[in-house]
Chains A and B, each alone.
Chain A
């Protein structure tokens, strides 16, 4: 294409060469006129502005050029590089975006799964924790580390003569346990698995603590079972009464056993579960 154009040489136009006023741009400031040189022509065209047909036409074309230049520069520096990108580039970019979207979707899916998993497992952990707490409470009642309340009986043994021995109280506790007592307290001392009774009549110790008559047993359990168990012929009550002691049993809907004992960490025994 380039060959046919004639902007550079302007050869063909030979027609009216002297008509030279048309300036186009004026880069050069200097002036040193001696003969009719290009520089003079340039200055001559630049300064006294003359309105001629050629000037106007050239001005129009240059206006168009400036416009296109500005638009192009603008749209290039403008926002995206997508403007003016050609089709195959756009397709490639679109493909890349699709791939990226796909990857991100995958990642999102993966993270969602992970989150669900974590939520589930934390649910399970919560459930396990709850069960453990529940178990701890139950075991705490047995071990005497937590207070308990519920239906049961109160057994009061009065011993004015000091005839009640430690083994009688132990028998009483055994009888109560056999009848299903779940929590027992004697004169403010919690009775647990390793509780022991010591001493002689009128001077009895429970787990090393001295207690005095009357002996009051707070027992949580099924009253309908506990009371007959004490009252059976030859049972606790009869035995005590033989010794000049009096025993009274009162049922109650809400017995409170709030004497506590500290949990003891075993020195040697270790849990064998895992």
Chain B
């Protein structure tokens, strides 16, 4: 419950405060957000499976974000930033979908 509240509060704060994102971070934010979403869906599924461990969640969340940003950074340096970030988004999207499917089976039994 508190975790859900955290998400809601984060969205509200982001909309209201309008924080300025440092220019350095800016290109990585969208990919980082997608990676974090992937981690969240994974965590949700793990919880439904009854194997949720908060430490694992934290580590996966952070490493997801960092690795995603790293890949984009590397792609930019190599001159294939656009393609690489597309690739990352595709892979993460697939994972999100499969996790969502597992969650759906748990929740709706279908």
Name A residues whose Cβ lies closer than 8 Å to a Cβ of B.
1-2, 4-20, 22-28, 30, 36-39, 41-42, 45-51, 53-72, 74-75, 83-84, 86-87
Tell me, in angstroms, the Cα distance from A70 to B17 when the chains sit together: 10
Contact with A along B27-54 (1 / 0, CB 8 A): 1011011001111111111111111111
Tell me, in angstroms, the Cα distance from A49 to B4 when the chains sit together: 10
User: Number of B residues contacting the other chain (C-beta, 8 Å)?
Assistant: 71
Classify the interface of chain B: helix, strand, loop or mixed.
helix
Q: Using Cβ atoms and an 8 Å threshold, which residues of chain B touch A72?
A: 29-30, 33
Tell me, in angstroms, the Cα distance from A61 to B10 when the chains sit together: 9
Q: Using Cβ atoms and an 8 Å threshold, which residues of chain B touch A15?
A: 53
Q: Using Cβ atoms and an 8 Å threshold, which residues of chain A touch B14?
A: 66-71, 74
A-B CB contact pairs (8 Å), 21 listed: A5-B67, A7-B46, A10-B52, A13-B46, A13-B53, A17-B53, A24-B40, A25-B3, A30-B107, A37-B109, A38-B48, A38-B50, A55-B1, A58-B57, A61-B6, A62-B7, A64-B10, A65-B33, A68-B32, A70-B15, A75-B26
Name B residues whose Cβ lies closer than 8 Å to a Cβ of A.
1-15, 18-19, 21, 26-27, 29-30, 32-33, 36-64, 67-68, 71, 76, 81-82, 88, 91-92, 95, 98-99, 102-103, 106-109
